Amino acid sequence: MQEHSSRPVRQRPLLGFSGNEIDRAANHRRDPAWVAAQRASPKAAVIEIAGDKVATAGPHVQTRSPRESEELVFLGLDHDDRPYFAARAANAEESWRDLRSLAIEGTVPPAELGLLAQARSLINWHMTHGFCANCGVATRMMDGGYRRHCESCGTDHFPRTDPVIIIVVRSARGLLLGRQKIWAPGMYSALAGFMEPGETIENAARREVFEESAIHVGDIHYVMSQPWPFPSSLMIGLIGEAEDDAITVDPVELETARWFGRDELLLMHEERHPDGFKFPTRMAIAHHLILEALQLP
């Protein structure tokens, strides 16, 4: 059996999309002959993606064999060295499931859910980057799907990941949570926003919290991250210490925001808050940040 060293460590299986265990074999996939040999393997498995929907077979993602001359993105090798690929399906069939629902239900094993996140983000990137952003000419897939090359101007394009900071801010008054109008009634969550070019993670977090709530944040520490394949975000989970506690909500970003004390948060966690307030389920990183900030297991 071949030795590979890039296998990620298993982490927090209840956190949706974070359990990917595939070995991406990044050193090998630059070699077209190696990728072709993986594709020709009788064990090769293809996951078809249409938008954010996939076929399932019982509690597993459904796969099929590669078809001749179809364009495939190499995902990696599983623990038995089975090569996995992703393909774009033109349409989802009636029975196909969307990735959010699969994550909420938790029926698909965490490693497969993580693989789906990788597949969905990559397929989406190829669909939307068929032409060179520099000169407009059609680009060609390379490196098993981790690069698109423009032969006209020589530019290489690489799959993007969009970092988003998500932060639970705490003070003596409790944890700062906000809600957006479109959310389910009573739902409150951590504040979040896309990072901007030239920003550090810490500065992005301080900016977002100040914009949305007028709270200043001092110390920040990193807790965990979560791939969020809609289409290609990476949630960077943080806890920050508030330097003041008077909230002014930005009505463009949030419907409301407030401090929640520990007793209230425990009621929300047990889904028995008298006003029906709640926070996201354990498939979402906000859930784990709130528990971490409360020092709950």
**14 touching Zn ion, by CB under 5 A:** no
CB 1 within 8 A of CB 81: yes
207 vs 221: CA distance, rounded Å: 15
Establish if 177 lies at the interface with Zn ion (CB under 5 A): no
The Cα 169–Cα 116 span in angstroms is: 31
Of the two residues 40 and 153, which places its CB atom closer to Zn ion in the complex?
A: 153
Residues in contact with Zn ion, counted by CB under 5 A, come to a total of 7
Q: How far is the CB of 161 from Zn ion (least distance, A)?
A: 22
Q: Work out how close the CB of 263 gets to Zn ion at its nearest, in angstroms, rounded to a whole number.
A: 59
H or E, element range at 119: helix 110-128
* By CB under 5 A, residue 15 contacts Zn ion: no
Residue written as tokens 């060609």?
A: 140
CB of 134 to Zn ion, least distance (A): 4
Binding flag, residue 119, Zn ion (CB under 5 A): no
Beta carbon of residue 131, minimum distance to Zn ion (angstroms, whole number): 8
| In the complex, minimum distance from the CB of residue 143 to Zn ion, in angstroms, rounded to a whole number | 17
DSSP class of residue 152 equals T
CB-nearer residue toward Zn ion: 132 or 242: 132
Q: Which is nearer to Zn ion, 153 or 296 (CB)?
A: 153
Give the whole-angstrom CA distance, residue 291 versus residue 24: 32
Helices 262-269 & 285-293 angle (0-180, nearest 10):
140
- Distance between CA 136 and CA 230 in Å, rounded? 25
Neighbours of 31 (CB within 10 A): 13
Task: Determine if 108 is a binding residue for Zn ion (CB under 5 A).
Answer: no
Among 65, 134, 161, 180, contact with Zn ion (rule: CB under 5 A): 134
Contacts (CB under 5 A) with Zn ion, residues 146-165: 150, 152-153, 155
Angstrom distance (rounded) from CA 225 to CA 8 = 13
Residues near Zn ion, by CB under 5 A: 132, 134-135, 150, 152-153, 155
